[in-house]
Amino acid sequence: MAQPTGIHARRAALKLLDAVLRRGETLEQAAPSALRDVRDANDKALSRAIAGEALRWLIDLDHLIDSATQKPLPKDAKPRSVLRLMLAQALRLETPAHAVIATGLPLLAGGPRRLAHGVFSTLMKRNVALPRVPTLPAEVVVRWGTERAAATSTGLTEPPEVDLRLKNAADTALWQARLGGMSLSSGHVRVPRGTPVEKLSGYEEGAWWVQDFAASIPATVLGGGRGHALDLCAAPGGKTMALAANGWNVTAIDISKRRLDALKANLKRTGLTSSTVRADALKWEPKHAFDAILLDAPCTATGTCRRHPDVLHRIRPQEIVQMVKIQRALIARATDWLKPGGTLIYAVCSLEREEGEEQAEWIDATFNLSPMPIRVDDLPAGLKPTPEGWVRTHPGMLGDEGGLDGFFVARFKRRP
């Protein structure tokens, strides 16, 4: 019997959802296996979109499902997962109900199709709708606090657009016009998602690279220089290229060969230069000290939740504790490599206080470093530092312009 058109994409979306919720994998980790049988590039994108929207709105989708069943389905039950995907398509991707049913129920072959069909049909007859912004998991609200969670959720409604960082900031107006985008600051252009970046104007000539607006802040607050700068955990290279474009003599280190190869390819495409080192930063020994070190440390990446909604559901306290230990070990190493008077930038794309604010307080109390408060003049328009002189962004900021990732950035100077 012929399978409905599009069933492979839906089956792959179910595998992606299962990998995140049952095994704690990221969507990127799960994709090679889950998408193995999906040949068409558009179908691959559809699989990711369905799973992504199901994760983005998971709490609200579950609330709808529970409202239409006499007895709640187990959280890990296959019918619940299939219904999540079906509702995500109907309510978020505007897929016609008949197409949702035709491609959703076959995922329950040998299972309770009638139950899933009944729940979905009941909800469609009620003309149900999702809330204005996604509801965050209760444990996330506890970790972030009510205020930060509420502010963040306003920026999670839609996947983000694509931010480009220009090699030459003086060409901002030129590339804004050529790409048909908007600019939030000098050297930045934001373009709508949907077009492969390699097909955008300027890609082949290396005029820009992809980098979220918030991710550009660490290099921005370091500023320009002519000395030696170290970019720790550097791949895929956005910060390295920003430092090189700002005049620094850059050494970029990363432990991953695959990610370092991507960094080298980006450097070649843009014509920017940097020394690259493949090494474990916890074991590597540099030949000289540095005038500046940018440590965008490994973290839980919860600040990227608008583009990676899986982080809302798979990060647990033990992962945060583990990341804090790694970050502190890297900070201790980096401090030893900094020249007297040199600048350390500590940054994470995390919304967890343990990885951001508490780490900055620990640095201040532990090392021969003095805080260098970040000033409002150091930042793009619309952003301002905290009273402590740090930067804390979240996805709800600059909402009218499309938002940005969650980041924490602190700046320090080594005392003589």
Active site residues: 349
**Contact criterion met (CB below 8 Å) for 124 and 101:** no
Residue with tokens 């490599």: 337
CB neighbourhood size of 223 (10 A):
15
**Other Cβ atoms closer than 10 A to 226:** 10
CB contact at 8 A, 220 and 379? yes
What CA–CA distances, in Å, run from 335 to 20, 230, 295, 332, 412?
36, 12, 10, 5, 10
CA of residue 214 relative to chain centroid, distance: 10
φ/ψ region of 24 (left if φ > 0, alpha if ψ in -120 to 50, else beta) reads left
CA-based radius of gyration for the chain: 23
Both tokens of residue 183? 């600019």
Q: Degrees (nearest 5) of the Cα angle 386, 390, 393? A: 75
Contact 339, 414 (CB under 8 A): yes
Contact 323, 266 (CB under 8 A): no
Token couple for 394: 């979240």
Do 191 and 181 touch, CB atoms closer than 8 A?
yes
Look at strands 369-371 and 188-191 and give their pairing.
Answer: unpaired
Q: How many helices (H) and strands (E) does the chain have?
A: 16, 11
